[in-house]
Copies of this chain bind each other. A is one copy, B any other.
Amino acid sequence: LSDRKADPGHRVRVVPAICEAIKGQIRTGASGPGARLPSTRALAAEWGVSRTTVTAAYEQLLAEGYLETRQGARAQVVRGFDPHALKSIKDQQPAPAMRLSDYGQRLLDFAVPPQSDASRLVADFRYGDLAAADFPTIAWKKAINATLLHRPSRLRYDDPCGSVALREALQGYLWRARGLRCEVDQIVVVNGSQQGLDLCARLLLNPGDRVVVENPCYNLALQTFVAAGAELIPLAVDREGMRTDGLCEARLSYVTPSHQFPLGSVMSVRRRQELLAWARRTGSYVIEDDYDGEYRFDMAPIPPLQLMDSGERVIYLGTVSKTLSPTLRLGYLVVPPALSTPCSKAKRLMDRHTPSLEQEAFAAFIDSGSYERHVRRVRRRNGDRRAALLAALSEHLGNQVTVVGADAGLHVVVWLDGVPQERAHELFERAHAVGLGLYPVGSLYLPSPSVSPPHIVGLVVGYASLSERDIVHGVRRLATMLEDLQATPVRNKHLTHQPSRRGPTAG
Contact = CB atoms under 8 A, between A and B. Distances in A.
Interface stretch (A40-48, A131-139, A426-434, A443-451): A131-139
A423 interface: no
A400 interface: no
A71 interface: no
Interface in A151-175: 151-159
A60 B276 CA distance: 22
Interface in A64-89: 64-66, 78, 80-82, 85-87, 89
A268 B205 CA distance: 43
A352 B63 CA distance: 40
Interface in A110-148: 110, 112, 115, 118-119, 124, 126, 128-133, 135, 137, 140-141, 144-145, 148
Contact of A327 (B16, B205, B298, B355): B355
Given A154-B132, A198-B350, A240 B273 contact: no
Contacts of A473: none
A6 interface: no
B280 A96 contact: yes
Interface in A84-113: 85-87, 89-90, 93, 95-104, 107-108, 110, 112
Interface stretch (A188-196, A379-387, A410-418): A188-196
Interface residues of A, number: 131
Contacts of A86: 269, 273, 308
A243 to B, nearest CB: 13
Nearest to A276: B89
Interface stretch (A286-294, A340-348, A476-484, A489-497): A340-348
A203 B78 contact: no
Interface string A349-386: 11111111110000000000000000000000000000
A300 interface: yes
Contacts of A85: 273, 277
Q: Looking at A63, A148, A344, which has the most chain B CB atoms within 10 Å of its CB? A: A63
A201 to B, nearest CB: 8
A470 to B, nearest CB: 11
A326 interface: yes
A312 interface: yes
B268 A78 contact: yes
B299 A60 contact: yes
A247 interface: no
A287 to B, nearest CB: 14
A24 to B, nearest CB: 14
Contact of A149 (B60, B90, B137, B329): B137
Nearest to A302: B64
A315 to B, nearest CB: 12
A439 to B, nearest CB: 13
Contacts of A312: 95
A64 B233 CA distance: 25
A342 B271 contact: no
A81 B198 contact: no
Chain A to chain B: the 6 pairs with minimum beta-carbon distance, closest first: A65-B268, A90-B310, A327-B356, A96-B283, A81-B270, A195-B351
Interface of A: 15-16, 19, 56, 59-60, 63-66, 78, 80-82, 85-87, 89-90, 93, 95-104, 107-108, 110, 112, 115, 118-119, 124, 126, 128-133, 135, 137, 140-141, 144-145, 148-149, 151-159, 190-192, 194-195, 198, 202-206, 209, 220, 223-224, 227, 240, 251, 266-274, 276-277, 280, 282-283, 298-300, 302-303, 308, 310-313, 325-330, 336, 338-339, 341-342, 344-346, 348-358, 407, 465
Given A81-B268, A130-B156, A329-B354, 8 more contacts: A56-B299, A101-B204, A103-B202, A104-B204, A131-B154, A326-B352, A329-B356, A350-B350
21 contacts: A59-B299, A63-B266, A64-B269, A64-B303, A81-B270, A99-B204, A100-B204, A100-B342, A102-B206, A108-B341, A112-B345, A124-B154, A128-B157, A130-B154, A132-B151, A144-B145, A155-B465, A191-B351, A327-B357, A329-B355, A355-B355
